[in-house]
Amino acid sequence: MGPIAITQLATGLSVLAGAVLIKSVLDQKPMAGGPFPRCPTCNGTGRVTCFCSRWSDGDIGCRRCSGSGRAACSNCGGTGTGTPLPVQITVRPPSRPF
């Protein structure tokens, strides 16, 4: 094996090791990061399969997905996080007729 082949092999192994390291970090931390959990609908990506990919003609692309076949998640709005919405619920005692 020549010096060029050894250099290419070393470069390939270092790229592979870097990819494994990044994958292990991403598996431990949510993709969206922050204090909020991943969106359960899109799993933190912010994108879901567009409705146009379900059409029977096999053609993918519409205005919603811009031809990519992936549209913004309607559950999280494309953020990838399942942000809780603050809601105030008030309960009043039932009024009694006289």
pLDDT digits (tens, 9 = 90+) for 16-34: 878 777 777 666 655 545 5
Q: What is the 3-state secondary structure of 51-93?
A: HHHHCCCCCCCCCCCCCCCEEECCCCCCCCECCCCCCCCCCCC
32 vs 93 pLDDT, higher one: 93
Among residues 9, 1, 2, 76, the alpha carbon closest in space to that of 37 is found at 76
pTM of the predicted model as reported, rounded to 2 decimal places? 0.46
Read off the pLDDT of residues 44-73 as tens digits, 9 standing for 90 and up: 899 998 888 777 576 777 888 888 888 999
95 band by pLDDT with thresholds 50, 70 and 90: confident
DSSP 3-state assignment of 14?
helix
